Every structure is written in structure tokens, then in C-alpha cells.
Structure 1
Amino acid sequence: MKVLEVDALRKCPDVELLRRIKLLAMDVDGVLTTGEIVVMDSGTELKAFYAQDGVAIRLAGIAGLKTAWVSARDVPCVRRRGQELGVTHLALGTFEKIPAFEAILDSEGLTYAQAAFIGDDVQDLPLIKRCALGIAVANARDEVKQLADYVTECPGGRGAVREVVELILKAQGLWIEAVAKLVGDPEWHVPTGSSFM
């Protein structure tokens, strides 16, 4: 297992791997949400998304990091949220994740060696295994954590995606510029001595 430290990127032994990542893909239920599925009497499905994960996805887009949501479920609220955030690829209603993911790689001219995938359950194992950086959220199933290169400190639906985006963008030296663009303040900066990169 590769050891990647979120709080002290300078100590991270695999910064070069993070610098090669051009596509960050993820499952939806259990990664972007807590995994709970609320079904109304009408049959409408509801999901709750963590705002900081949404900001992170916007920052990824600003920095030029491609994003993809790959999920067996195709729910209108998920599609809408993905479109609002500018997710590059929405592969929803995809039971066979490998062909869908490979189509995304082909469309971007990328390989598994340039991709990271975040998952939480056994259906995510094939992509976690194949991607250069396989990531399990803190509350993932044990099998997923054992195969993953990195396990987040934050659970799915509670900041795991934000943690990973920060890790990648900081390693690539794109974090501060992306935040400045998002907040619309080129003078934005971090106080001296901050752990921010």
C-alpha cells in the first residue's frame, strides 16, 4: 500500500504519482454521498451531497483535472448535480464499469496510468485495481481498503472527495491558483507559515 499523507504533502513518498493524474473518477453512492438512498412514496430518489466535495469538483475543473462519475445507478438528482458542478463525464446507469471507464479514457486520450478512482464497495474493485491510484473512502468495505493504494481520512459523503482533490492539486502545484480563480480574487493568498500549499 502506498502511503500518502494529506496533512503533510511534503512528506508524501509518492508525489510523482499524484502529479501524473489527469482524470479523477469516482463512484457516487458511498463516495459522494453517505450511501443512504432515500426513496419517496412517489418513487423519486433523493440524495444528499456534501458541499465541500462539490467545491472540490469545481476546483478540479478550474485546474484542468478531468472528473468522472461512474455509477450503476442513473438518478435524475445525481445527473443534475453532476451537470451543475461541471463533471467532465457522467457514466450513470453503468453496471459494467470497466467498458464505461475505458470509453472515458479513450475519449480523453488517457490511460489507466494517468487515472485515479475513488470507491467504497466491491463493485469498485476492478477500477481501484486498474487505476494508477486506487482510493478507498474511510468507511469503505475492508476488501476495498485492502486493495486501495490510499484510504481517505474522511468518510464518503463527508469530505473524502475534497481530501483527494486537494491532495492531487497541491501535488501538481495548482491548488492556490484554482482557489484564486474560484473566489475571483487574484490577490488571494495564504498567511505565511500556513500548511496550505
Structure 2
Amino acid sequence: MNAENVKLIVLDVDGVLTDGKLYIGSDQVEYKPFHTKDGMGISLARYAGIKTAIITGRKSPSVEKRAGELKIDYVYQGIHHKQQVLDEILESLNMTMDDVCYVGDDINDLPVLRKAGFACAPNNGVQIVKDNVNYIAEADGGEGAVREIIEAILQSKRDLNELIEEYLAGVTQSETVKVQQ
């Protein structure tokens, strides 16, 4: 399959939206480093009408906070059988796996990656994952891989520079309205 069919982008978190390292402070709070470039990519995808989802095996308040900031459409944490949750999302959206871009980095992502219409991995994903995807980002997880993948999807659908200019015009116009009020 190809990126042109993507209507839903589904992301793992650790190793995809983050660098895969677990940062646990002396206060026992887990910290996750998210890259702002990935956040802008997600904003561009949403602007282009693509739905977004996070399905991750771990639970973390930082994921909930970041997903809220980015207005991710579906957020599921503590999920070990990701395909079951994804099937429920797809049914609610009247979509199929052909419509899905799934981004994963490790063996627990393989069952979904093998069925996704456009399967992707960050450059530092494990080799067996990279052997089972359509696209491998040049960037590592947590270092802009999601942004790179989203730009590839958007470019397959239309001129990326044109989309960015429309996005910027819309953001600038809404900021001007807020300032004038």
C-alpha cells in the first residue's frame, strides 16, 4: 500500500514519540521527552483532515497531557493487544486497515504493522520491525521521525508547501482575530 490512502495515523509512544528511554525521577514520576517537531507534524496532519490515535502499552500522565495538547483523537494506554482497540476505532470511523498508517518500533507492534496499509518505523526501530514496514524514517524515535513520516504522507496527497502556507495563513488569521477582540 502507499501513503496516499492514509486517513488515520496510529502511533506507539515509547521509541516512536519518545526516544524510548524511561526517565523515572526520585519522586517516582515518569518523565517522557517529546519532540516539538513531531507535535507540529501531528498538527499539520489534523489540519489536513487526517485522524490521529495513540495506542501504547504503558500508562503515563505525560502521554495524556501531550495527547491533549495535540488534540489526538483517540488515546489508549496500557494496551497490550493493540489490534483489538484499533479494530474498534476503525469500526467507529467506518475505515479499514488499508486506511491506517501505523508507526511502531518494537516487536509488540508487529501484529498491527503487518496489517496496516502504510506501516512505518523510526530509524532506530528494531531490525525485524524495519523488515516489515513500507517506510523507515531517517530520524530516530523522539527525534522527529513522526514528523518525517507525516510529511511523507501529506506530500503523497498534495503539495506540502502549499498545505503549509494554508496552515500558516489560518493560524495567523485566527491569532489576529484573537488579538483584535
Fold shared, TM-score > 0.5 on shorter chain: yes
Residue 63 of structure 1 pairs with residue 62 of structure 2: no
Asked if the contact 1:180/1:186 (under 8 Å) is kept, the reply is no
Deviation at 1:113, TM superposition (A): 0.8
Q: How far apart are the structure 2 equivalents of 1:181 and 1:103? A: 33
Residue 154 of structure 2 aligns with an amino acid whose one-letter code is: L
Change (3 A) 1:186 1:177: farther
Unaligned runs of 5+ in 1: 1-13, 188-197
Q: How far apart are the structure 2 equivalents of 1:104 and 1:173? A: 26
Residue 143 of structure 2 aligns with an amino acid whose one-letter code is: R
In structure 1, the partner of 2:132 is: 147
* Structure (1 or 2) with the greater helix fraction: 2
Q: Give the superposed CA RMSD.
A: 1.8
Which whole-Å deviations, capped at 9, do the CAs of 1:14-61 have from their partners, x for residues lacking one? Answer: 7xx221110111100000000011111222110011110000001111
Could you state the TM-score of these two structures normalised by the residue count of structure 1?
Answer: 0.82
Q: How far apart are the structure 2 equivalents of 1:186 and 1:145? A: 36
In structure 2, the partner of 1:37 is: 22
Residue 82 of structure 1 pairs with residue 48 of structure 2: no
2:141 paired residue among 143, 156, 167: 156
Counting matched residue pairs gives: 172
* Percent of residue pairs bearing the same amino acid type: 34
1:41-52 residue pairs with structure 2 within 5 A?
41-52=26-37
Q: How far apart are the structure 1 equivalents of 2:93 and 2:100? A: 11
Q: How far apart are the structure 2 equivalents of 1:79 and 1:182? A: 25
Q: How far apart are the structure 1 equivalents of 2:85 and 2:15? A: 19
Q: How far apart are the structure 2 equivalents of 1:172 and 1:166? A: 10
Change (3 A) 1:165 1:97: same
Could you state the TM-score of these two structures normalised by the residue count of structure 2?
Answer: 0.89
Unaligned runs of 5+ in 2: 173-181
